[in-house]
């Protein structure tokens, strides 16, 4: 195994199908071959908010992320240290907060909306993947996810989409698209193309970074 882990950055807008891509990618590896660190677990605590305050709070700004701690933890993983992190629940009062144990591995996946915008984090990445979907497809996925996982009414999801999500995507993510090594268009909910792409990328990585024979 190489001493220096291989860092893969996976960025994508809300509703791009980034989570499905991630899960497909991770499926190709054994547990000790790859680890995942997510930007979503590095939001600064927003405190207790009413439903109306939660609706207006803009999670889609780089300033809401503790990027310094995010960077520090990535560097710790690169040095072989274990990270313990409280999972962020987006102020959902029904969510059970878990303590995440993130173990070092030969391949480290860093994912999130702003990972390419944060220069120091972007500078650590060996391979950048950009996942995108058409606006209409992405919005429907967002409505479904936020309703099921975070308990948001559709009206609130639409408000955030037009006032927070789309402006942030255009300002803090889209400008970095052309600098990425792999661009994945994920408009379909059929897994075949995603599985094929993740298979191709993972096969080379496993050969170089995970073959201990």
DSSP assignments along 59-111, one per residue: --SGGGB-HHHHHHHHHHHHTT--EEEEPP-TT-TTPPP-EEEE---SEEEEE
| Residue 213, pLDDT score | 46
Rounded Cα distance between 210 and 78, Å, is 15
Is residue 31 predicted with pLDDT exceeding 60?
yes
Least confident of 8-12, 139-143, 186-190: 186-190
Going 127 to 25 to 173 to 114, the CA torsion angle's sign is negative
Average pLDDT on 158-187 reads 95
Ordered by start, the domain boundaries in the chain are: 6-207
Query: Phi and psi for 9 in degrees, rounded to 5?
Result: -100, 125
3 state DSSP class of 128: strand
Give the pLDDT band of residue 1 (cuts 50, 70, 90): very low
Whole-prediction pTM = 0.88
Q: What digits encode the pLDDT tens for the residues 175-207? A: 999 999 999 999 987 778 888 888 988 888 888
Neighbours of 119 (CB within 10 A): 9
Taking CA atoms, 186 is separated from 19, 176, 190, 203, in Å, by: 11, 18, 9, 21
For 37, 58, 62, 96, the CA distances from 53, given in Å and listed in that order, are: 28, 10, 19, 21
CATH of domain 6-207: 3.40.50.300
Q: Round to whole Å and give the CA distance between 1 and 194.
A: 27
Write down the pLDDT at residue 193: 80
Q: Please tell me whether residue 187 adopts helix, strand or coil conformation.
A: coil
Model confidence pLDDT, tens digit, residues 52-109: 666 677 889 999 999 999 999 999 999 999 999 988 766 565 667 788 999 999 999 9
Tokens of 73: 């933890």
Tokens of 94: 């029904």
The alpha helices in the chain, defined as continuous H runs, are 18-26, 51-56, 67-78, 119-122, 135-149, 154-160, 166-172, 192-205
Query: Which residue in 19, 43, 163 sits closest to 92, CA to CA?
Result: 43
Q: Is pLDDT above 70 for 48? A: no
Helix or strand or coil: residue 47? coil
Look over the chain and give the mean of its residue pLDDT values, rounded to a whole number.
88
Residues 6 or more apart in contact with residue 65 via CB below 8 angstroms: 39, 42, 43, 44, 112, 114, 118
């Amino acid at each position: 195994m190489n001493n220096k882990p291989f860092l893969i950055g996976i960025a994508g807008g809300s509703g791009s199908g980034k989570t499905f891509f991630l899960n497909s990618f991770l499926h190709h590896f054994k547990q000790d071959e790859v680890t995942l660190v997510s930007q979503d677990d590095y939001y600064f605590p927003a405190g207790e908010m009413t439903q109306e305050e939660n609706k207006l709070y803009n999670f889609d700004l780089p300033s809401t992320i503790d990027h310094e701690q995010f960077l520090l933890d990535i560097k710790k993983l690169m040095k072989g240290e274990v990270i313990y992190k409280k999972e962020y629940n987006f102020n959902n009062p029904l969510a059970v907060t878990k303590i995440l144990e993130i173990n070092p591995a030969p391949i480290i996946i860093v994912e999130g909306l702003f990972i390419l915008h944060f220069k120091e984090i972007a500078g650590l990445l060996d391979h950048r993947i950009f996942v995108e979907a058409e606006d209409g497809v992405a919005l429907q996925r967002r409505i479904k996810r936020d309703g099921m996982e975070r308990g948001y009414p559709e009206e609130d999801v639409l408000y955030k989409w037009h006032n927070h999500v789309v402006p942030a995507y255009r300002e803090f993510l889209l400008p970095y698209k052309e600098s990425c090594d792999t661009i994945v268009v994920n408009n379909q909910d059929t897994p075949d193309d995603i599985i094929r792409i993740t298979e191709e990328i993972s096969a080379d990585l496993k050969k170089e970074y995970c073959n201990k024979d």
